[in-house]
Amino acid sequence: MPATIEPSAPLRHMPSAADRRSTLERMPKWLICVPLVVQWLWLGLRYRSLTLPSAANPAITSGGLVGEGKLEYFNGMGPLARAATARGGGVRNDGTHTAQSLQAQMAQLGLDFPLVAKPDLGLCGHGVRRVDTMASLLEYLSRFPRGEVVVLQEYLPQEGEAGIFYARDPRDGQGKIIGLALRTFPYVVGDGARTVGQLVQADPRASRLAVSARHECAFDPHAVPAAGETVRLATIGSTRVGGLYRDGVACITPQLVAAIDAIARDMPQFHFGRFDVRFDTLAGLRAGEGLRIMEVNGAGSEAIEAWDPQTGLLQGLRMIFRKQALLFAIGDARRREGVRPIPLVELARLNRRQYRLIENYPPSN
Q: Residue 86: left (phi > 0), alpha (psi -120 to 50), or beta?
A: beta
Give the whole-angstrom CA distance, residue 20 versus residue 18: 6
Domain presence at residue 317 = yes
Q: Please report, as a single letter, which amino acid is at residue 233.
A: L
Query: What's the pLDDT at 19?
Result: 52
Query: What's the pLDDT at 99?
Result: 96
Domain presence at residue 101 = no
Give the CA count within 13 Å in the CB-facing half-sphere of 145: 18
Domain presence at residue 30 = yes
Query: What's the pLDDT at 20?
Result: 62
Query: What's the pLDDT at 301?
Result: 93
Domain presence at residue 258 = yes
Structural domain boundaries, residue 27: 23-86+157-184+245-358
For residues 72 and 58, the answer to whether their CB atoms sit within 8 Å is no
Q: At what angle do helices 99-109 and 134-143 cross, to 10 degrees?
A: 100
Q: Please report, as a single letter, which amino acid is at residue 20.
A: R
Query: What's the pLDDT at 30?
Result: 81
Instruction: List the chain residues with pLDDT less than 70.
Output: 1-21
Query: What's the pLDDT at 183?
Result: 94
Query: What's the pLDDT at 17?
Result: 43
Domain presence at residue 99 = no
Domain presence at residue 167 = yes
For residues 327 and 64, the answer to whether their CB atoms sit within 8 Å is no
- Please tell me the total count of domains within the chain: 1
- Partners of 163 in the β-ladder: 181, 276
Domain presence at residue 313 = yes
Domain presence at residue 196 = no
